[in-house]
Amino acid sequence: MEIISDPQEMQSLARQWRGQELKVVLVPTMGFFHPGHLSLMEYGRTIGDRLVVSLFVNPAQFGPQEDLGRYPRDLDRDVRLAREVGVDCLYTPEAEAMYPPGYQTFVEVESLSGGLCGASRPGHFRGVATVVLKLLHQVSPGVAVFGEKDYQQLMVVKQMVADMDLPIKIAGRPINREPDGLAMSSRNTYLNPEGRAAALCLYRALLAARDLVAAGVKSREPILAAVRQIIDATPGARIDYVALVDPATLKEVGAIRGEARLLLAVWVNKTRLIDNTLLSETRLCCVQ
Ligand code: PAF
């Protein structure tokens, strides 16, 4: 496995691969790999000839009061895990190389970035869209793979790729969960044992919503009320937002017609967790 930190070196390797007509797949990450990341990589491995995993804790997507400084990092472990999965290139650019002095270009995906996590974390998606565009430009993949846990991020990236006419497929992959249902996230490492137990309220709330839909409930109020009740009854948990949205536009819907996405952001003590599920009027869907 190659480990490259210089963007120009990355671009030249990508150019070489393109010249050999190899299909390159990119999995962008911020490192501290968990099985969710590894499953994205394993999927990436199966759909292309060369797999690049980028590892960059992107300062541009963290607000001034957020956890950039304490975001978990373990490069040696990540290198070992990436090797085990069969990654061809681990791309680890430095912040100074991505945003050198004088850097001033940012990407805004306007409407999709505005609400939900964008409302709670102003500037977050501007940072995400900017770094993802740079990574796509540096690696030139045919496909880039993202997890559906960050559902709004996935939609923002898809829109950006379409708007910028990039010839790149964005593949969304199902959420990976711990055996008890907690969505895998690097931020789960912030939780103490009580917080870890409280964090299960997100999954329980999604299951309750799914059960209501399976029982024929379609309108927004009873679904959101059930979700809120479960989270509000959990000591240490505080709702940031609960939203039932159109899966494509992320606009709030009054009822499930066809499909809707239920999105949650919940503070568990000082850790903000997100989770979501598809709710389908017709399809019996499981909470992934
Ligand atoms: O989802 C993440 O880990 C990050 O937001 C991403 C897509 C790697 C951009 O920094």
pLDDT band for position 285 (cuts 50, 70, 90): low
User: What's the rounded Cα separation, in Å, for the pair 33 and 284?
Assistant: 31
Residue 179: inside a domain: no
Q: Is residue 234 part of a domain?
A: yes
Residue 175, number of CB atoms within 10 A of its CB: 21
Nearest to 271 by CA among 209, 208, 194: 194
pLDDT digits (tens, 9 = 90+) for 33-76: 999 999 999 999 999 999 999 999 999 999 999 999 999 999 99
Per-residue pLDDT, 61: 98
pLDDT at 10 over 70: yes
Cβ atoms within 10 Å, residue 61 = 21
Instruction: Tell whether the model's pLDDT for residue 282 goes beyond 90.
Output: no
Question: What's the 175 CA to ligand 1 centre distance in angstroms?
Answer: 15
Chain mean pLDDT for the chain:
97
| Whether residues 196 and 150 fall in one domain | no
Residues with CB under 6 A from ligand 1: 28-30, 58, 61, 128, 131-132, 150, 153
Same domain, 117 and 233: no
Considering the domain boundaries, does residue 126 fall inside one?
Answer: yes
- Backbone phi, then psi, for 275, in 5-degree steps? -160, 165
pTM value is 0.96
Give the N- to C-terminal CA distance of the chain in Å, as an integer. Answer: 31
Q: For ligand 1, what atom is nearest to the CA of residue 61?
A: 10
* pLDDT band at 249; cut points 50, 70, 90: very high
Q: In 10 A of CB 94, how many CB atoms?
A: 12
Check if the beta carbon of residue 147 is closer than 8 Å to that of residue 114: no
As given in the structure block, the two tokens for residue 60 are 């541009």
Q: How far is the CA of 41 from the centre of ligand 1 (A)?
A: 14
Residue nearest (by alpha carbon) to ligand 1 atom 1: 29
Least confident stretch, 1-15, 18-32, 274-288: 274-288
Give catalytic residues, as residue numbers.
37
DSSP per-residue letters across 9-48:
HHHHHHHHHHHTTPPEEEEEE-SS--HHHHHHHHHHHHH-
Distance of alpha carbon 27 from alpha carbon 173, whole angstroms: 11
Query: Is residue 138 included in any domain, yes or no?
Result: yes
Count of domains observed in the chain: 2
Tell me: do 149 and 240 sit in the same domain: no
The CATH number assigned to the domain holding 156 equals 3.40.50.620
Q: Which of 141, 128, 131, 127 is nearest to 94 (CA)?
A: 131
Q: Which of 26, 27, 29 for a ligand 1 pocket mutation test, highest count of atoms within 8 Å of Cβ?
A: 29
Give the pLDDT confidence score for residue 281 in this predicted structure: 87
Residue 147 lies in a domain: yes
Task: Give yes or no: residues 198 and 275 share one domain.
Answer: yes
Could you list the residue range(s) of the whole structural domain that residue 112 is in?
2-173
Q: Are residues 84 and 134 in the same domain?
A: yes
**CA-to-CA distance for 144 and 40, rounded, in angstroms?**
10
Residue pair 10/138 in contact by the 8 Å Cβ criterion: yes
Ramachandran class of 83: left when φ > 0, alpha when ψ lies in -120 to 50, beta otherwise = alpha
Which of 100, 150, 104, 145 is closest to 125 using CA atoms?
Answer: 150
Query: Tell me, what's the pLDDT at 286?
Result: 60
How far apart are the CA of 282 and the centre of ligand 1, in A?
32
Q: Which atom in ligand 1 lies closest to the alpha carbon of residue 128? A: 9
